[in-house]
Structure 1
Amino acid sequence: MILTWLGPLILAVYWLRRFAISTSMALSGLQKRFLALTESAPKVKTMLTTKLCGVSVGSFVRTQYSAVALLNSRAFSRSHALLLLCLSSAGTWATMLVILLSWQFEPLLLLLPWLAGAIYGMWRKRTLTWYRPFGDFALVLIAMRWVLQNQSVLMTSLGESDLHFLLADGRFPAQLLWLAVAFTMTLLIGIESWAVILALVLVVAGSLSLNGAVALIIGEMLGHVWLLWWRSRKLNQDVREITKSYAVVSSVGLVVAFFVAGLLRDAFAWNFTFEGSQLTEKSLQFFSLYFVIVVVQAFAVLAWGHFAAQKKVDEVQKGEYFPISWITFMLISNEILDFILKKIATRLDLLIAQKKELDSKDRAQIPTAFLAEHENEITQLALWLPKALEESQNEKRI
């Protein structure tokens, strides 16, 4: 019986991910502007363009991986890629939109522009991308309404069980438990916004305290930043150092956000209640807490990024590129991925040309370590690039 409640919840998380991907494709022009930035671009323009790029990706997680892939490829400005990583929180807007509109907006209205775009595309025999986000977001809202309609199933299943009392417990030990659960689950499944959507549904159902909701949100965000570091641990030295520092600073920012959210809740006297009539109020309270957590984390990493961007990097870097699984699981924006693959293909041709130009006399004057790394990178790229190109084409067909 619980599946009638859990099924729509899983569908909501799935279609939210699809919404982020289709939005990224529809707004790819903003990503092109970011990729066209030069080092001499004005700071205000750079900040705004990078922020809009993060917004266009529509995903906190995909923006992070896109930024790290740019850093790893060494095919783009290091400072700009690092800024994109620091502004990855801009991608949380899609989740925030779900929180605000889940029960306040008629999803069928979104199907009208989706249907118009689909018909126009078939009529003109053109592949359009702008209309797809409307359909995906409508499906998110429909799934969320379905979850709300099956609230009674959840309440019946929980009853007066220990789990129900633990969910309602807003004390610090219970918070730590839910934080640990969300952190561990995120490391295992790596799915974005699963804990946020779950917490939202449980809060409006009157089953979860706001303190517990904060713990789930922070646990998930902690899981994502440390999973990013774990998946980057075998890449070049600069990326390893950046992702580790980013995870540490994000963790500090999220710990601060944990207490700031608690102070906010106390200041506005937001209390735990079982009254279903307060649906809108609970959604707004939840949104406010989530927004504060995201903003505090963003300020922490922006402060760190200012100094990290000024650090000098060794010229010789390990020739290890991000795993193909990042492409398979669509962790990188299509536009940014295409840019990276083109730059890496050019780099491989350049490395091969340099190798052919070197004669025995030239080789004797070059440090052995540099030559070895040069040969290793050619070998790695020759194996990696065809697989990456093939997988990127498969991704576009999905």
Structure 2
Amino acid sequence: MPEHPLPRTYVHIGLQKTGTSYLQSVFWKSRDALASQGLAMLPGSKRATFRVMLDVREREAGGLAALDTRLASLLAAAGQPGAPTRYLLTEESLAPATGEQVRRLVEHLAGTEVHVVLTVRDLARQVPSVWQQKVTARRRYTYEQYLDVVVGRRRRSRDFWASQDVPAVLERWTAAVPPERVHVVTVPPSGTDPAVLLSRFCQVLEVDPAALDTRVPRRNVSLGLVQTELLRRVNVELGGRLRKRQAYRAAGKMYLGKRILSAQGGTPALMPRRLDGWARGVTDEHLAALRSGGYDVVGTLDDLVPVPASYTDDAQTVTDADVAAAAAKAMATMLVQPRRERRRRKRRPRRPAPPPSLWRRALRRLR
């Protein structure tokens, strides 16, 4: 009798800032539609997926040993009648995993045929976008300082290149997964309907994108250059306060950054035109590796060539007056917002009060 093919596990490793938040929002919201097509999300929630990434990269106690409890039970039925034929594990911070960490993750996915999915965007859009992401994660370097360390590959840029050096990322992952099982999905140019990226990704997963629920909020709203510089200065002023990651994420990134400053709009940082030659040189290296690596490329590699609209000849100088104006707008919004939220809560229909608990009924009788 012919052997049944192994179920597949697609491990989407990023890169960061390549439409991952949008894709993940659609997939998590469409779990039933995916299941009807034979694909299950692995593990069972976005939070658990983040924990898997921390385990894989050994960033918390337990490390890879903790993966057994997160993945083993979920994959125990893999290959059995009625079980999913495909699994998707998507976490954009997996790309920097070391070769040894990759090997051990693949071992934990034994019993399935592991495929790697890499989403890639052109470098001229990546650099300013990653700088903004770093500032919303409490970093304090200016845009010019960040450009200097990235272009010069200085020590402080190691985390950037660990996540964004496409040939190096692929070299680490293909040490454990053959190139023919590596799928490179290119991100289309700015302004393209996000459905194009979703369609390309679904082509890899062999699912119908038309069946998915794409009514998801914009998760990663960009900040303007002035607004990002304001947040950076707040980070400097914080000093040693709000050291815990979750505390800063709630107050700095999600509240001040996403809710307050993003509402101001503003022109985002762009790549300086003077760095066009550098960006194209690095891009040529990446394209050569992608063309010769034997990978499954979905989309077109032309999408990775920076376009003129990604650059600017302006100095992109942010003055103290610019920052002061943005700060005044932010403070005014912060004063008004609680009042608006109270009004919104008052307009919501009140839920019926729950029935009194047993001990409260007994207390009333005693009284």
User: Would you call these one fold, judging by a TM-score over 0.5?
Assistant: no
- When normalised by structure 1's length, the TM-score is 0.25
- When normalised by structure 2's length, the TM-score is 0.27
Higher helix fraction (1 or 2): 1
